[in-house]
Structures are given as structure tokens and as C-alpha cells.
Structure 1
């Protein structure tokens, strides 16, 4: 699992926190950030440089007929797919935790309102 990340030398992909991707000239720069250990001020990170792939494609409505384009390299695309799996998994866990806490707060509110309603009914019975 995560063979593309392991081929980059990342042996513990579960320690990845986030990543950034930017373009510089004809290169894509991928920076991977790892979770901070206790007592660390800055997260550890590694940087990778991928040359952009050049392609010649048929141009629309131009006299030349063909034009050259630059796009992300296939190897980088596979790495990003794996990084998205890791980073989105973490987001799903955070969202699930938030949902459970929201459900718990709602249940707490419903129960306290029901208790107040029952106490009010008891009070009516004792007043008669």
C-alpha cells in the first residue's frame, strides 16, 4: 500500500499530516509535511521536484495546427492520489468525531427538555 510514496523514501505514510503543490517554471514542487512530535516547533517536511511533462497537441483555431503544452507528470499524479487518500481519511475521522459530538449535544438537550417536561407534569399533579 502507498507504493509510490514508499518509492520516494517515505516509509511511514501514516505520519503524513498534509502536503502542498506549486508550480515553478517548468517544474512542480511537492512538499509533504509530517505530524509534529511533542516539543517540536516546526513540522518535518520533505520536498520533491518533478519536471512538467511536455505534450504536443492539435491546436484549436490556430494557423500553426499544433501547440506545446506542459502538464503534471504521471508519476506525480499517482503520488498525489495516495496523498489525497491519506489526508482525506484524516478529514473523515475529524468529521465523524465532530458529528458524534454534535449528536451527543443534541441528545443531551432532548433529554434535559424531556426531564423538565416530566418534572412540570409532576408539579401539576402535586399542586392539585
Structure 2
């Protein structure tokens, strides 16, 4: 029913709550969130990274100038289509202020942890 998601190891389709897709460090990052009962040992989310395909295209008609274009992987595009149909909604229409605030808070935690880790490494070198 959802061959791309199944090939990625996603199989609890009934428990998928939402997903996010962002571009980070040269990769498309797809994160699938699940509904879980409190105390469940199953993960609340799964993250997948997809590299982008690079192709060279002619950019000027008569100038013979080429440029590289980086395109999303077909797998991530198919996965997003399957997730949209599975959830019965268009992903872009579902983005809310709350989602953006949560993503920003998550990013702040990640950056703070990385800064602390780097400071610790600097201290060890001193």
C-alpha cells in the first residue's frame, strides 16, 4: 500500500501523527512522528536523511554555460506523497505556528548542546 515507506522500514502506519521535511547540511531530512502511549518504549519519531541528486544543465541558450542543480531524491518525494495521502492532507497546509515554535525550540536545544560540547573540548585542550 505504501511501498516507499515500507522500504524505509516504516510500518506502523496507523500510529503516524505527522511529519516534517527540512533541508539541513546538504541533506533533505524527513522526520516522521508517531502517537505513543505514555511510558511506551517505542520511539516517538524516526529521522531519515536523503542526499540530493546533482545534475548539470545548460543555463544560457547560446552561451554554452552550464550550472549544477541539486534536486531532492525521488525516494523522499515519493515518501512525502505517501505520507500526505496516508494522513489525508497536504503537508504545507498543516504547518502551524505551534509546529514552527516547536521546531525552533528543538533547534535551540541542539545548538546549545553542541556549544556546550565544543566548550568542553576546548577546556580539555587548555
Structure number with the higher helix fraction is: 1
> Residues 26 and 70 of structure 1 are in contact (CA less than 8 Å); yes or no, is this contact kept in structure 2?
no
For the pair 1:59 / 2:64, whether they are aligned, the reply is: no
Q: Distance in 1 between matches of 2:62 and 2:32?
A: 40
For the pair 1:46 / 2:40, whether they are aligned, the reply is: no
> Residues 4 and 79 of structure 1 are in contact (CA less than 8 Å); yes or no, is this contact kept in structure 2?
yes
For the pair 1:3 / 2:3, whether they are aligned, the reply is: yes
TM-align CA RMSD: 2.4
Helix, strand or coil at the partner of 2:88: helix
Aligned to 1:87: 87
Query: For 1:71-110, what aligned pairs fall within 5 Å after superposition?
Result: 71-88=71-88
Distance 1:71 1:62, change over 3 A: farther
Aligned to 1:33: 33
Unaligned runs of 5+ in 1: 90-128
Q: Between Structure 1 and Structure 2, whose CA radius of gyration is higher?
A: 1
TM-score, normalised on structure 2? 0.61
CA deviation map 1:72-126 (0-9, x unaligned): 001111111101111225xxxxxxxxxxxxxxxxxxxxxxxxxxxxxxxxxxxxx
Q: Distance in 2 between matches of 1:7 and 1:83?
A: 13
The Cα shift of 1:60 comes to 3.5
TM-score, normalised on structure 1? 0.60
